[in-house]
Amino acid sequence: MDEIRDIFASIDGALPERPFASFTGPGGDGRAAAAAGTLAPPDGRHYVAYLERPPDDPASADAVPVSYVDEDLRLHARETSSGIDSLTGSGYRVRYLEAFADPFKAGETYRFFWEALHPLPEEHDTEEERDRDLRRGLARVEDLILARATSALCDEVLRAEEEELAAPDPEARAFWQQAAHSARDELLRLIPDPERRESDLVLHRYRRAALRADSGEGGR
């Protein structure tokens, strides 16, 4: 419990006044956990986290897993000397961290992780069947994290391209051009297939345009 608390204490602005309204404890094979709570006032939003311990196998431990941390919490972390990427001293690494204004949405997301880590066994399930159900739950977790990370990167690419077009001077254009290039490189790691990658970008471009239209924004 204290190890998880240390992770959030290292994220500026994300240490909850009531740290964990819900905490699963280790689930599955003991390497993963989920937590939920409420951020301290004046923020007051509800957050959900999914965390994992690195595997014992040195070859696997060096692999960089896909993770998703929503943008405003990433910005909080960048203002500290540690940041989210270095939060492995406690033994856990953050794979997913998101804050929600809607407590119901936060509860749904927390329940998703809880059920993935604690699949309900049938009365006569064998050990093999329980392991199978756990693997299926963890696969759903990976799919969710990949989908959220991909969506966030698509938005980063498109925002950087939009800012580059609107930049008032060459220095600003160069900054946003580099930002778009870096986001595309990371997107390439997550989606190697070029057709699928461009298809995802097209869908997100339409979505961004629709959101701007709904909000009454003009221009870009």
Residues 6+ apart with CB under 8 A from 142: 66
State the CB neighbour count (10 A cutoff) for residue 166.
12
Give kind and range of the element (H or E) at residue 93: strand 93-100
Give the global pTM.
0.76
Backbone angles phi, psi at 24, to 5 degrees: -75, -25
DSSP secondary structure string for all residues of 137-164 = HHHHHHHHHHHHHHHHHHHHHHHHHHHH
Residue pLDDT tens, the chain, 220 long: 445 555 555 554 454 555 455 566 666 667 788 888 777 667 778 888 888 877 766 555 556 688 888 865 655 444 443 444 444 444 677 889 888 889 899 889 989 998 898 888 777 778 888 888 888 999 999 999 999 999 999 999 999 999 999 998 999 999 999 999 999 999 999 999 999 999 999 999 999 888 888 877 654 4
Residues 6+ apart with CB under 8 A from 96: 48, 49, 50, 67, 68, 69, 113, 141, 144, 145, 148
Torsion of CA 28, 106, 95, 68, to 10 degrees: 150
Give kind and range of the element (H or E) at residue 188: helix 170-190
Q: Could you state, in order of their start, the residue ranges of all structural domains in the chain?
A: 2-118, 147-215
DSSP reduced 3-state for 6 = helix
